Structure 1
Amino acid sequence: MPLSAASAARTILTRLHEVMAARTHAQAKLNNVVEVIGETLDSEVCSIYLLREGMLELFATRGLNQAAVHVTRLGVGEGLTGTIAKNIETLNLEEAAIHPEFQYRSETGEERFHSFAGVPIVRRERAIGVLAVQHVEPRLYEEVEIEALQTVAMVLAELINNAGLVDGEQLDGASSAQTGQAQINGLMLVKGLSRGKAVFHQPRVHIEQTVAEDIEAERERVYQAFDRMRDQIEQMSTQAEFGVDGEHEQVLETYKMFAYDEGWSRRINEAIDSGLTAEAAIERVQQRTRMRMRQIQDPLLADRMHDLEDLSNRLLRIVSGKVGTAATSGLTGDSILIAKNLGPAELLEYDKRRLRGVVLEEGSLTAHVVIVARAMGIPVVGRLRNLRGLVREGDEILVDGDTGQVTLRPTQAVSDAFEERLARSRERRAGYAKLRDVEPRTKDGVRIEVMMNAGLRDDVAMLGMTGADGIGLYRTEFQFLVSAALPARERQARLYREVLEAAKGKKVIFRTVDIGGDKSLPYLVNKTGEEDENPAMGWRALRLSLEREGLLKAQARALLEGAAGRELNVMFPMVSEPWEFDEARKVFEHQVAYLRMRKHQLPSKINYGVMLEVPSLAEVLDLLLDRIAFVSIGTNDLTQFLFAADRSNPALAERYDWLSPAILRFLARVVKTCAPWPVDVGVCGEMGGRRLEALALIGIGLRRLSITPAAVGPLKELISTIDTRALSVRMDEWLAHPPPDMRAALRDWAQEQGVEFE
């Protein structure tokens, strides 16, 4: 055995290059390959299995019966060879027969061989074959032998592919199981249906050349790439968006630890010593990392290995000169974006005309990118582990954001069925489009104000497309979420002015910035400097704005300047007591006085309102009604506060129902409290966009609903089928004496009345 893995691998690579360059047919080349490997490693048996038609077929061997070549076939997961391919793992066995997956094949004549070592032949993260060695005497193979086999297997994958030794389907390195249809279930993040071709946010670097011509030149390329990568990470840690303290700092420290890890760089250097190019050396070490990741049970350690995987990808892109994202090169057709995770600014870089959906390996309900995607109307499914190992660039993908199911490479039958669902969805949307210019009135003539929620400048265009009465909730925080630093007042004012101009006279209710807590910004540190244990009920929204008066002061003046000459509607979020509203309004009035003194044009009228999402406000709402123009009930936060159920926790997602008597009674009480006053009461939140829930809201007296743009058409259609007198009578009865299942009772009543709710 040679003294080092590098020298053994380099010897084999040199000889393999000569073999594959020879003008002989494919089978002869493989026969020579197993001889070269066997001789160099002093192995009695060396065999190559390649994946064809979904089976691992013995293609060439030194030491086993030649009659078994192209006869012995194993399924993926079958026997030792199949286990290696399925798990993409290395096996090193002193006594092969005692392994639980061992299968004896008599035609091979392998009964006299005891020891066994096998490594997967991997191309583009998928096993396309197995390289195995065997000895008569029972022994474990040394680490240097295994490393040499792994390095050779990596180069062999490219040589096999280039020589056309595998079926066309396998040229991309996928087994039939990985090229056929697969359905995976994740977490519903943004609802909707979409289909398109898979596009990786960080495109894979496909290594074209694996064998180095000049080892020292390759080493220098890696050194330069390491320097550039470390510079990037140092810059990340000093950028404004990462602030001073917090969890992000720990993440960056971990990145730095790996980036400067001598062991990692040493392993890459050793791979170059074996004769690999810089790209191939990084990929070789990365393959080894992936194999280790599959064996790690501790989630914390697994996450740390993912950090190293991310750094490896970054280093590989730098050394290959491919440092951009898919947004840089642009989308060429209907696309489903694949990413481990994504920031809101990164999502906004993509062409919305071609981006149909997003699928994330991670992701959560409260992630900023989910908030932006929902506003953009892009379906998102998250929590799909090992996604990159299952999907290839260009694969057809069906995204069902309504169920959290993602279908990869669908069969024709599944594709046709999905297309029918999409067609029905489009047909319904076409029907809704006809209602664009129709006023939403009930059968008995009651006018319901149907407004839409927005948060991006481009969202305002949906006013004309949907026929919504206005924007009942404009989330001003989106501008803050996608900024690296606090947006300048002038920039804020320009946005508000553009929104009002685009609204063309329709009402727009601006909610002052709702950040902090579960929408934390790196450049705004919690006043305690500590992370909230329960961020949804922490230092956020108006609490943060009143504490950081400069923040609210700048936004107040920006809103006043942006609305100059127009009516301005301002809503304060998360008000829990009247004094908070009074303090916030005082900030605005001071800015009004400031602008008036300097002869600036002011809004023609200013209407102030509150967002009722903290239950305590309902108990003192009567003390505030003489000072406000409107109340908007935020059902999303209100529900979780009433039930003490975190809406971002999947385990609690089904523990409460918007049609619970507790919620409906609460809302009815708010409506009754406001009734004697000239105060407009409405709902802004997902509850109003669900047809059955909307029925209940209208039944308890609510006449303004602000919902997502996609729900405007369906809600208009629903309103036209309702008789509010009959509905209100029934709702009063149910609230006084709640049925066992309010949802079922409302559904049955709707069916009796001929009201469609689904």
Structure 2
Amino acid sequence: MLLKGIAISTGKVIGRAHRLIEHANNYSRSFLTSEVEKEKELARLAQAFNQAKEQLASLIDKTKREIGLQEAKIFEAHLLLLSDPLLGEKIRTKIQVEGKDAVWAVSEATEEIAQEFASLEDEYFRERAVDIRDIGRRLIACLGNGLEEVSDEATNTIIVAEELTPSQTASFSRRTVAGIITEKGGPTSHTAVVARSLGIPAVSGVTNLLDLVKDGDFVFIDGNNGVIHLNPDVEEIKNLPTNGQNNWREKRCIRNALAKAITRDGHEIEVATNLRNFEEAELALAYGAEGVGLFRTEFLYMNRQEPPGEEEQFLIYRDVLLALKDKPVIVRTLDIGGDKHLPYLEQDKEDNPFLGLRGIRLCLKHKNLFKTQLKALLRASSYGNLKLMFPMVTTLEEIRQAKTLLEEAREELQVAGIETSINIPIGIMIEVPAAALMADILASEVDFFSIGTNDLTQYTLAVDRDNEKVAVLYDAYHPAVLKFIYQVVDAAHRKGKWVGLCGELGGDSLAAPLLVGLGLDEISMSPVFIPAMKERIRALSYEEGRELVRRLLELPGAKEVREVLVKTS
């Protein structure tokens, strides 16, 4: 049986259905007949609010570490909503005035607010109804009711539900949950954002889903086209193309993932991974990562009251290098500023923080903080194939200042009798138009470039990607962004330097012909996207990709670029 829905997170996977049933609507409703009962319920409610706030604070920290800063903002917004006095007052009124028990009051109050959002014309605000329900679900769970959870022992599970909240989705393990299907929800929902960040294929908007799908049903999800194959027969299964995402444990898929990404006409592209922590290294290697294209170090500095010391950092960098063995590990030095702040670092409020003291600018101001990190990295350099990368570089002088501090750190270690690797490749992030335009000059001072498409898109198009009023304009497929990438690659290659790419565009299999044609030497992405990207590259021709890029660069907008890529996929 074929079911049709809305594709909200790409990928193709097969698994067994597991229905998540909401229990919160099945509780018994009690009228309160005395002031004593009301006071008791108000006390329970206050305790639930405190517990929910603690849970959200922990979830925010976990999401920052394991998923991403942008995704963590979803739950920061939940925390603000939970702290809104109007919400608490609406619930307390239902207890005090209407005499309803706490669970009933929470359910009714949050659903009323959710319905207000759901009735709005704007799709973005309609999707916020799910966030309100998420908060209500959390409070109800703290009051002793809640959702059935997914067993950690299950594998290749396809979650089937009427609707999922962002919190539920963030709690899923990529090793357990292979895919998601829901009756409600859309591509702009926070649930969709989290699913995409986790690399879990998802389809929403499937009519009568819970009536059609039973626990244990065999389900194939095509998250690229929004199609569900329910209980396909043997012959159908043979013809269903999966991206290996939920079969990474199987030796056959691992062997395919470990194979090189070489185009039909013999052009090889290194496929690397983005890492946030040491724990992701094993998963990345299993998925076929040929190195680390971006190891983010800011997570070592966040959610603490003092900066990490040299020894603590050294041990972490050493362990990552040892885990990757001889594979290259590109470590991006501290990238703080913009939307990321440290409580122990003096950071004045800025009207335009993304145009202010961030990345290498901040490090050059706080030299001691920067030098501590450089010393830890230098000490770790003898344990593997380390490459250093400076973020948010705009000028040649910034590179030279950073390299001077690196040499000072090396000399101080040598005085202390600590040896380091002699030749550590130095690179920079290309994230601002000035750096892209000056790539030919900057290339003379470094060994490699890595293009950060997230910020390059934001700065090129003058769009704050976190501002929902203009977020629709944020699109890395815009020809202006692609022209910058093309120019950077060309300038670097003329100077004999290699170029990688480590933004979200790198994990989008739709972009594979484009990335190949742009001439990139390396592409870095979340581990779960690696097998699909490698498979896609192997089916492409480098020369055809070069010709495709020449056509794409002449198009007027991102919409037209996407249309051409869809036709070629």
SS class of match (1:575) = coil
Distance 1:300 1:435 in 2: 40
Is 1:317 aligned to residue 137 of structure 2? no
Is 1:257 aligned to residue 85 of structure 2? yes
Distance 2:130 2:509 in 1: 42
Distance 2:57 2:506 in 1: 43
Number of the residue aligned with 2:386: 568
Structure ID, larger Rg: 1
Matches within 5 A, 1:71-470: 185=6, 188=8, 193=13, 196-199=17-20, 204-205=23-24, 208-211=27-30, 218-229=37-48, 231-232=50-51, 252=80, 255=83, 257-258=85-86, 261=89, 264-272=91-99, 279-280=103-104, 283=107, 313-320=137-144, 326=149, 334=157, 336=159, 339-342=164-167, 347=170, 350-357=172-179, 370=193, 376-379=198-201, 401-403=223-225, 405=226, 424-426=242-244, 433-436=254-257, 438-441=259-262, 447-462=268-283, 464-470=285-291
Alignment match of 1:496 (pick from 305, 312, 317): 317
Q: Please say if residues 255 and 307 of structure 1, whose CA atoms lie closer than 8 Å, have aligned partners that are also in contact.
A: no
Q: Please say if residues 452 and 708 of structure 1, whose CA atoms lie closer than 8 Å, have aligned partners that are also in contact.
A: yes
SS class of match (2:24) = coil
Q: Which consecutive unaligned segments of at least 5 residues does structure 2 have?
A: 62-72
Length-normalised TM-score, structure 1: 0.55
Question: Compared with structure 1, are the counterparts of its residues 612 and 258 closer, same or farther at alpha carbon in structure 2 (3 Å cutoff)?
Answer: same
Q: Amino acid of the residue matched to residue 359 of structure 2?
A: A
Number of the residue aligned with 2:434: 616
- What's the CA shift for 1:674? 2.9
Q: Amino acid of the residue matched to residue 270 of structure 2?
A: E
- What's the CA shift for 1:612? 1.4
- What's the CA shift for 1:657? 3.7
Number of the residue aligned with 1:634: 452
Question: Compared with structure 1, are the counterparts of its residues 619 and 450 closer, same or farther at alpha carbon in structure 2 (3 Å cutoff)?
Answer: same
Q: Amino acid of the residue matched to residue 341 of structure 1?
A: P
- What's the CA shift for 1:687? 4.8
Distance 2:301 2:200 in 1: 21
Alignment match of 1:556 (pick from 368, 374, 378): 374
Distance 2:58 2:283 in 1: 35
Question: Compared with structure 1, are the counterparts of its residues 554 and 411 closer, same or farther at alpha carbon in structure 2 (3 Å cutoff)?
Answer: same
- What's the CA shift for 1:556? 2.9
Number of the residue aligned with 1:520: 340
**Corresponding residue pairs, total:** 542
Number of the residue aligned with 1:505: 326
Q: Amino acid of the residue matched to residue 520 of structure 1?
A: K
Question: Compared with structure 1, are the counterparts of its residues 604 and 736 closer, same or farther at alpha carbon in structure 2 (3 Å cutoff)?
Answer: same
Cα shift readout 1:472-505 (whole Å, capped 9, x = no counterpart)? 2223345567x46676345544332222111121
Q: Please say if residues 340 and 362 of structure 1, whose CA atoms lie closer than 8 Å, have aligned partners that are also in contact.
A: no
Q: Amino acid of the residue matched to residue 581 of structure 1?
A: I
Q: Please say if residues 273 and 525 of structure 2, whose CA atoms lie closer than 8 Å, have aligned partners that are also in contact.
A: yes
- What's the CA shift for 1:605? 3.8
SS class of match (1:457) = coil
Q: Please say if residues 240 and 484 of structure 1, whose CA atoms lie closer than 8 Å, have aligned partners that are also in contact.
A: no
- What's the CA shift for 1:703? 3.2
- What's the CA shift for 1:564? 4.4
Number of the residue aligned with 1:529: 349
SS class of match (2:424) = strand
Cα shift readout 1:652-709 (whole Å, capped 9, x = no counterpart)? 366x746x4x556544443443345453233334555667855555556543333454
SS class of match (2:445) = coil
Question: Compared with structure 1, are the counterparts of its residues 479 and 417 closer, same or farther at alpha carbon in structure 2 (3 Å cutoff)?
Answer: farther
Q: Please say if residues 273 and 292 of structure 2, whose CA atoms lie closer than 8 Å, have aligned partners that are also in contact.
A: yes
Matches within 5 A, 1:2-17: none
Percent sequence identity over aligned pairs: 25
Number of the residue aligned with 1:8: none
Distance 2:231 2:534 in 1: 36
Matches within 5 A, 1:578-597: 578-597=396-415
Q: Please say if residues 546 and 584 of structure 1, whose CA atoms lie closer than 8 Å, have aligned partners that are also in contact.
A: yes
Q: Amino acid of the residue matched to residue 41 of structure 2?
A: V
Distance 2:436 2:286 in 1: 35
Length-normalised TM-score, structure 2: 0.70
Distance 1:251 1:581 in 2: 40
Alpha-carbon RMSD across the aligned residues, in angstroms, is 5.8
Distance 1:393 1:365 in 2: 27
Q: Please say if residues 38 and 96 of structure 2, whose CA atoms lie closer than 8 Å, have aligned partners that are also in contact.
A: yes
Cα shift readout 1:414-443 (whole Å, capped 9, x = no counterpart)? x99997785544499888754455455556
SS class of match (2:316) = helix
Distance 2:432 2:191 in 1: 22
Cα shift readout 1:441-482 (whole Å, capped 9, x = no counterpart)? 55665554333333343432245434443222223345567x
Distance 2:191 2:358 in 1: 15
Q: Please say if residues 692 and 747 of structure 1, whose CA atoms lie closer than 8 Å, have aligned partners that are also in contact.
A: no
> Which structure is higher in RCO with an 8 Å CA cutoff and minimum separation 6?
2
Number of the residue aligned with 1:680: 498
SS class of match (1:226) = helix
